[in-house]
Amino acid sequence: MPNKIKTVRRPTSVVTGAAGFLGSHLTDLLLARGHRVIGIDNFITGSVDNIAHLAGNRNFKFIQQDVTEFLFLNEPVNYVWHFASPASPVDYLEFPIQTLKVGSLGTHKALGLAKEKGARFLIASTSEIYGDPLVHPQTEEYWGNVNTIGPRGCYDEAKRFAEAMTMAYHREHKVATRIVRIFNTYGPRMRLHDGRVVPAFISQALTNKPITVFGDGKQTRSFCYVSDLIEGIYRLMMSNYSLPVNIGNPVELTMVQFAEAIIKATKSRSKIMFKPLPQDDPKQRKPDITKARKLLKWEPKVKLADGLAKAINYFHGKV
């Protein structure tokens, strides 16, 4: 008798915030790895441009919806990736209530979907839950130093609540949950004027305008290229680890060093201009990625110069 061809059903992933910077890159990776993807976004900060290349892809389905409303899907779901949220200071200062709602009500609805479908769930948390850290570098065991009533509190507390809700569903309903704490990430599909340092510095450099550095420029950040980050997140979802894991690049730069790197990469005539430091702006931000290295066999591979070249090439057509 001839061997029967065994058909393997594609796993189905739901990605909230699928039209956003990270959500769209995650969607691409999932499709490349054989998933069927249902993307959900209300376009408050996402863009159709980020998913336009998926038009006609039979393994991608898009639903325009606010995830704080009930999520009804009449089909099996294997994975829920909750990435919906404004994620830059410009956005969450403009939409503070929506930011709080998507972190609380949106997380509740996404967890409810995972519970109903028996799906594995991952919440995209953030290094912002560490606030202006008193511990350096930041390990997952650090509880943070957050100003709950400051201008950044809407984002910080939304994500802290989302983590607490995720663990509650894990303990109470036995949902298989994963928590990724995302550190500064950059790459194509960032919005030019979203207020984050990479697009801000690159757009200023490409137009030879002064690069605005806040404070004395000695505050530090670490920058992870988007493909590295998404690979780490995928590995976390596929792991058996339910507590938070930092994913980011531990190579630390001052803001002045980063501005100088971008001036050099763009061959810009821009000069650095200093402005007052915003309230609650973290002085240091660097992930301890010991857990990611050990549990996920992950660490970033893309060098800053290579990642910046790709990001600059993308923004060339936008300024």
Catalytic positions are: 155
Q: At what angle do helices 226-237 and 21-32 cross, to 10 degrees?
A: 60
Q: Which residues of 279-316 are buried (b: 16+ CB within 10 A; e: fewer)?
A: ebebebbbbbbebbeeebebebebebeebbebbbebbe
Give the DSSP letter of residue 132.
S
Contact 45, 113 (CB under 8 A): no
- Relative orientation angle of helices 255-266 and 304-316, to the nearest 10 degrees: 60
114-136 b/e (C-beta count within 10 Å ≥ 16 → b): bbebebbbbbbbbbbbbbbbeee
